[in-house]
Structure formats: structure tokens, C-alpha cells
Amino acid sequence: MAEQQNRVAPPFPTPPPFYTHFTKQNISQLQQLRKEASDHGPKAALDLLSLPPELRYLVPPAPPAEDHYRTFGAAINLHAPDASLGDANIEQLYPADPAATLHPQPHLIALSRSLLTTFLSLVGIMSHDPTGFYEERVQSLQTIMFNIHDLINRYRPHQARESLALMMEDRLVSMKDEIRRIEDAKAGVEQIMAGLIQAGESQNAERQGEDGGPVGVDAGGPLRKVSDKGAMEKQRSAWAAIESETAGSW
């Protein structure tokens, strides 16, 4: 009996028992069934009752049709305005200026210092007389914590926008770096091709009197058959250089 009285109740209920059905195998099976249903038409939907019991829990419920729903035993209104400290009859310790929510750091630091000072005062009172008047300090601690929590929540939309801006900046830097690598690869290929053209022109000049036709790479025409093994080896080396130049750029 004493053990039952000393047992600490959890602040939130335990997870529902059907969480064990969320396995990789069941998720893959549900995805396969959805794919088969989509083959019959874009608007075809799964029949929930035809699914095995272990897969029914994996299908999320439809959005609330009404303006409210219940969670942890509390009714939540979807269209209710954001609750403020004044609605809960709690004193607001930070300025009501909108700039305070955009730059809450100084106010959070001030509230944290007040929290520490009030806690030390509470410890001093409790050390002298545990049965003394400590309710006022406890109430002050609660008020400070409510203000800190409210100020952090009001900063979250701005924080989300700043996080998105940082992600876009990182993406821009990544794209610029990719463009730079492509341009470097392009410059390397152009340099190799210029060397090939120059080598082809020199070979044409050397063999012009031997066979009466150009050999190798000609700037003014297509690649012709090369009878000289040395020239073919040079061309193979050139193409290998091009492949090695562009291998790490894509």
C-alpha cells in the first residue's frame, strides 16, 4: 500500500499499444498497397476495413472536420487566438513593444537574472525558517518562468524565418561553388582541346608533303583516320586527360 502511494504518476499518458505496429516491414507493405491502389486511378483510396489490423493504425486519420479537437483530455480550438499572459491573469514583465519579441535576448537575460536572484532569496528564506513566508517568492518564480516561456514562444516565428534564410544562403553558396567547379572543368577542357588543335596543326604541317592530306585533329574539319601510332597514342592521352579533368566536376 505504501509503495502505491509513493509511486510517481507520469505527467503524460503512456504511448498507445498500437505503436508497435509502426515497423519498417509494415510501412513497406502499406506503401506497396497504396501503389497498387493508385494504379487503378489517381483518386482511388485504400479501403481501411480491408487492410490487415496491423496496417490500419498506419493510416493517419482525416483532419478534424470541426473547429476543435481533444488531446491529452484537453479541448483545443483551431481558430482560437494565441493566449497571452493577460488572458491568464499573469503579470507581463517584459515590454509590450513588438521590438521586444524580435530582439528578446536582453529581456531574456534580465529575466534569467531575476529568476536567479529570486531563487537565492527563496533559499535564504527557507534556510532561516522553512515554515516562513516563502509563497511570495514561489509566486514570483512562477511569474518569471511564465514570462520567459511566453517570450520564447513569441520569438519562434522570427526564428523560423531566420532559419529559412540561412538555409537559402547555404543553398546559394553551394550552387555558386558548383558553378565554379563547372567553369574550372570547362577551362581545363578548353585548354586541352587547344593543345590538341595545336598538335594536329603541327602534325598536318609535317605530313603535308607525305600523303597530301591532314592528319590528326584539324581546327577546320572533323577528326580523320591517323595512320601514325605515335599520333594515335597522343590522342588517347589527350582524351584520357579530358576524362580525368571532368571526372570530379559533375
Structural domain of 40? 17-63
* Mean pLDDT across the chain: 79
pLDDT of residue 247: 61
Q: Domain total for the chain?
A: 2
Is residue 207 in a domain?
yes
Give CA torsion, residues 214, 217, 222, 224, to 10 deg. 60
Is residue 96 in a domain?
no
> Is 80 exceeded by the pLDDT of residue 28?
yes
**Rounded to the nearest 5°, which phi and psi values hold at 76?**
-115, 125
- Give CB contacts under 8 A, 24+ apart, made by 190-195: 192/238, 192/241, 192/242, 192/245, 193/242, 195/238
Give me the mean pLDDT over the 185-209 stretch.
Answer: 77
Is residue 212 in a domain?
yes
Q: Which of 32, 63, 94 delimits the end of a domain?
A: 63
Alpha-carbon span 29 to 54, nearest angstrom: 11
Please write the tens of the pLDDT for every residue from 233-244: 666 776 776 667
Indicate the pLDDT class of residue 229, thresholds 50, 70 and 90: low
> Is 80 exceeded by the pLDDT of residue 32?
yes
Q: Which uninterrupted H or E stretch holds 68?
A: strand 68-71
The Cα-based distances of 77 to 70, 73, 138 in angstroms read 9, 13, 31
What share of the chain has pLDDT > 90, as a percent?
20
Are the C-beta atoms of 214 and 225 separated by less than 8 Å?
no
pLDDT of residue 33: 86
Q: When comparing pLDDT for 204 and 164, which is higher?
A: 164
Please write the tens of the pLDDT for every residue from 60-75: 887 777 888 887 778 8
**19 closest CA partner among 60, 58, 73, 70:** 58
Is residue 69 in a domain?
no
**146 closest CA partner among 81, 72, 88, 74:** 88
Please write the tens of the pLDDT for every residue from 79-136: 877 778 888 888 988 888 888 877 888 999 999 999 999 999 989 888 888 777 788 8
pLDDT of residue 221: 46
Give me the mean pLDDT over the 222-241 stretch.
Answer: 61
If phi > 0 it is left, if psi is from -120 to 50 it is alpha, else beta; for residue 109 that is alpha
Please write the tens of the pLDDT for every residue from 15-25: 888 888 899 99
> Is 70 exceeded by the pLDDT of residue 245?
no
* 3 state DSSP class of 77: strand
pLDDT of residue 6: 58
Alpha-carbon span 203 to 194, nearest angstrom: 14
pTM, full prediction: 0.46
Is residue 143 in a domain?
no
Is residue 210 in a domain?
yes
pLDDT of residue 218: 46
Q: Which of 37, 63, 89 delimits the end of a domain?
A: 63
Give me the mean pLDDT over the 146-165 stretch.
Answer: 88
Is residue 204 in a domain?
yes
